[in-house]
Amino acid sequence: MTRAVFAAGGPAPEVLGEVTLDGRFGIVLPRFDGPTLTQATRTGAITREQASCSAGPCLTCGSG
């Protein structure tokens, strides 16, 4: 899904690769410099709800 969104020009990072480690699947994404979601919520830059929606599927913001 992330690869398709990126390819279509959507707001998603480029998928650099896929890995399996100890039987668990993972996606390799580029590193982004900047504050963590925790740091952004502590400074008031974003709300906890916004941070949770940024981190993955969220029922309260309608994604997922």
Res. 5 pLDDT band, cuts 50 70 90:
very high
Asked if residue 44 belongs to a domain, the reply is: yes
* CA distance linking residue 58 with residue 64, whole number of Å: 6
Model pLDDT for residues 11-55, shown as the tens digit of each residue: 889 999 999 999 999 999 999 899 988 999 999 999 988 888 765
Mean pLDDT of 58-64: 53
Q: How many CA atoms lie within 13 A of 53 on its CB side?
A: 10
Residue type, 41: T
| 60 within some domain | no
The C-alpha angle with vertex 51 and arms to 60 and 29, in degrees rounded to 5, equals 115
| Domain housing 26 | 2-55
User: If DSSP codes are grouped into helix, strand and coil, which group holds residue 46?
Assistant: coil
State how many domains the chain has. 1
